């Protein structure tokens, strides 16, 4: 859109493209007055420094060639050498051939960083250092602002790369957390409704629209980029993915997350290995346990200084894995933005269990166990799988093993199946349910379920015996009896209610209420 607005080649198409929009009616003096030079650094080869530099060079040359072709220019530039030298040659030659200034648009300016930061920080530091080829490229871009480059717009994922470059490229302004640009980062509710109306053959009835919006709200909404703002945004990529299916079939996709986007987020799991792994893993457990996550959002990162807990939480924020819940004194409280992101956290946690225990969890077996709950109302298979995992964990003294950890394993396996909308500490009229298996979009199980989990350590059992089991059972039953009268649960058909008690790695009570 930005390119079309400023591109001199699109001058005759301005009315068609922007006539009915706000920026079309409030046009600026500089619209359609630039040559647009676009770079997209997606998909660079990060195997080695040489491979990265080669693919980086190929990408910028492709951009130059497209530019020359698009504007039908006779420009020859040096095609061999360092990226900065090639770029400098191009700008020199272009300055004598074009009559209007350049608008440089860079997409995915830091795509390669996500591949490097966890396992190749030395290579990352090398390429953005004073003599690094990426740093030198941006220095040429800065120098270009003294001649034909008048405007630059860059997008990326994490600010780490940008902050590593800005000492050499110190003419930029970071708009990420500017309140005026909050709604540029995604779709607001009105925009989503407009998209729905544009892909449906007739306007949806209010009830139908509200049901659809509730699905989209739970799974894709929640993002806030400036604490002074109030409008929470939908993930635009995921909304378009969902609506593509809805337009074809009148219902959403079987999987609520696009596999291509899930793959990108999967790579971001490497961030938990970045710098201080143990501290990062504690943040992960706090997130999964629903603990309050607070901190100050880091505005400027540096690989040279200590990378503390606030830096890591901030990195998760910039990556879209946490968002602002509300401002607090001297900082913000964070939260997981939506269900799809929460699902990704639990997927990652499941992988970490595998790695820690050298134990391959059978996803198909877990799905069958959850399906058994949905179709038969039985949880025996799930209990056996959890017992098997707990048995492996109980032999590892270094793993923190308590009721919260048992609950996390239970939750992770329920999330893995994708059959239910899984809720932890689900709030109802009379309290908070440990685990609730609720209606998921496009899934029609015969049974739903709630679990009240209790855990007794081996030492507690050896000290108190059956007495503590009976106490925990009485407590769990009373809680479920209290919850089942809640209005939220009364509307669920065939609701299974289980009190589950583990002693060490064994389930000693599996009681249906």
Structure-token pair, residue 110? 């830091």
Average pLDDT over residues 339-344: 92
3-state secondary structure of 238: helix
- DSSP H or E segment with residue 255: none
Res. 270: pLDDT tops 60:
yes
Q: How far is it, in rounded angstroms, from Cα 231 to Cα 225?
A: 10
User: pLDDT grade, residue 398 (50/70/90)?
Assistant: very low
CB atoms within 10 A of CB 276: 16
Tell which residue, 334, 278, 274, 285, has the closest CA to residue 307: 274
Place of tokens 């939908």: 234
What was the pLDDT predicted at 181? 93
Distances (CA, A) of 91 to 21, 150, 322: 34, 12, 40
The mean per-residue pLDDT over the stretch 74-84 comes to: 96
Share of the chain above pLDDT 70, in %: 94
* The pLDDT value given to residue 5: 97
**Residue 178 is encoded by which pair of tokens?**
């500017």
pTM more than 0.85: yes
Q: CA of 66: how far to CAs of 35, 58, 60, 63, 147, in Å?
A: 12, 12, 10, 5, 21
Contact (CB, 8 A) for 472 and 457? no
- Sequence ranges of the domains in the chain: 34-174, 181-256, 260-335, 359-512
Which are the contacts of 118, defined by CB distance < 8 A and separation ≥ 6?
270, 271, 273, 274
Q: Is the dihedral of CA 266, 269, 271, 275 positive or negative?
A: negative
Query: Residue 173 above 50 pLDDT?
Result: yes
Instruction: Concatenate the DSSP letters of all residues of 117-158 into one string.
Output: TTT-HHHHHHHHSTT-HHHHHHHHHHHHTTTTEEEEEE--S-
> What's the confidence (pLDDT) of residue 486?
79
DSSP 8-state assignment for residue 223:
B
- Please state, rounded to an integer, the average pLDDT across all residues of the chain: 89
Q: pLDDT tens digits, residue range 187-224? A: 999 999 999 999 998 888 999 999 999 999 999 999 99
Q: How far is CA 402 from CA 69, 399, 408, 457, in A?
A: 64, 10, 10, 8
Task: Check if the beta carbon of residue 90 is closer than 8 Å to that of residue 75.
Answer: yes
Long-range contacts of 351-358 (CB under 8 A, 24+ apart): 351/269, 352/281, 352/284, 353/389, 353/393, 353/409, 353/412, 356/396, 356/399, 357/389, 357/392, 357/393, 357/396
Residue 171 confidence class, pLDDT cut points 50, 70, 90: confident
């Amino acid at each position: 859109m930005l390119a079309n607005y400023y591109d001199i080649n699109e001058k005759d198409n301005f009315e068609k493209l922007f006539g009915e929009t706000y920026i079309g009616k409030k046009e600026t003096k500089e619209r359609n007055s630039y040559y647009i030079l676009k770079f997209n650094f997606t998909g660079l080869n990060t195997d080695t420094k040489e491979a990265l530099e080669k693919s980086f060079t190929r990408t910028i040359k492709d951009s130059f060639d497209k530019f020359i072709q698009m504007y039908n220019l006779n420009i020859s530039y040096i095609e061999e050498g360092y990226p900065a030298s090639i770029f400098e040659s191009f700008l020199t030659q272009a300055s004598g051939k074009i009559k209007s200034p350049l608008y440089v648009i860079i997409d995915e300016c830091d795509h390669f960083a996500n591949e490097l930061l966890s396992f190749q920080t030395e290579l990352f530091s090398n390429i953005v250092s004073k003599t690094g080829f990426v740093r030198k490229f941006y220095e040429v871009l800065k120098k270009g602002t003294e001649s034909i480059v008048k405007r630059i717009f860059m997008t990326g994922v994490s600010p780490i790369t940008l902050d590593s470059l800005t000492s050499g490229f110190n003419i930029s302004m970071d708009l990420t957390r500017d309140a005026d640009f909050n709604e540029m980062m995604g779709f607001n509710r009105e925009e989503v409704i407009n998209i729905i109306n544009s892909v449906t053959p007739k306007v949806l009835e209010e009830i139908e629209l509200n049901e659809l919006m509730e699905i989209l709200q739970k799974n894709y909404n929640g993002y806030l980029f400036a604490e002074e703002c109030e409008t929470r945004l939908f993930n635009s990529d995921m909304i378009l993915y969902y609506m593509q299916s809805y337009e074809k079939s009148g219902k959403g996709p079987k999987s609520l997350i696009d596999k291509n986007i899930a793959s990108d987020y999967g790579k971001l799991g490497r961030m938990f290995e970045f710098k201080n792994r143990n501290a990062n893993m504690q943040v992960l457990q706090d997130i999964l346990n629903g603990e309050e996550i607070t901190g100050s959002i880091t505005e400027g990162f540096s690989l040279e200084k200590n990378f503390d807990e606030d830096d890591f939480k901030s990195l998760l924020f910039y990556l879209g894995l946490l968002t602002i819940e509300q401002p607090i004194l001297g900082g913000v409280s964070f939260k997981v933005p939506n269900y799809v992101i929460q699902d990704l956290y639990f997927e990652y946690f499941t992988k970490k269990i595998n790695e820690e225990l050298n134990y391959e969890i059978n996803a198909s077996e877990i799905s069958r166990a959850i399906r058994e709950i949905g179709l038969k109302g039985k949880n025996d298979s799930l209990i056996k799988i959890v017992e098997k995992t707990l048995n492996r964990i109980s032999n590892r003294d270094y793993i923190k093993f308590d009721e919260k950890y048992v609950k996390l394993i239970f939750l992770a396996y329920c999330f893995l199946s994708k059959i239910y909308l899984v809720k932890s500490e689900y709030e109802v009229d009379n309290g908070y349910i440990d685990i609730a298996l609720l209606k998921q979009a496009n899934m029609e199980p015969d049974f739903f379920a709630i679990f009240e989990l209790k855990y007794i350590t081996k030492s507690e059992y050896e000290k108190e015996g059956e007495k503590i089991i009976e106490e925990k059972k009485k407590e769990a039953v009373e809680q479920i009896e209290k919850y089942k009268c809640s209005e939220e649960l009364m509307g669920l058909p065939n609701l299974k209610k289980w009190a589950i008690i583990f002693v060490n790695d064994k389930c000693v009570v599996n009681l249906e209420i």
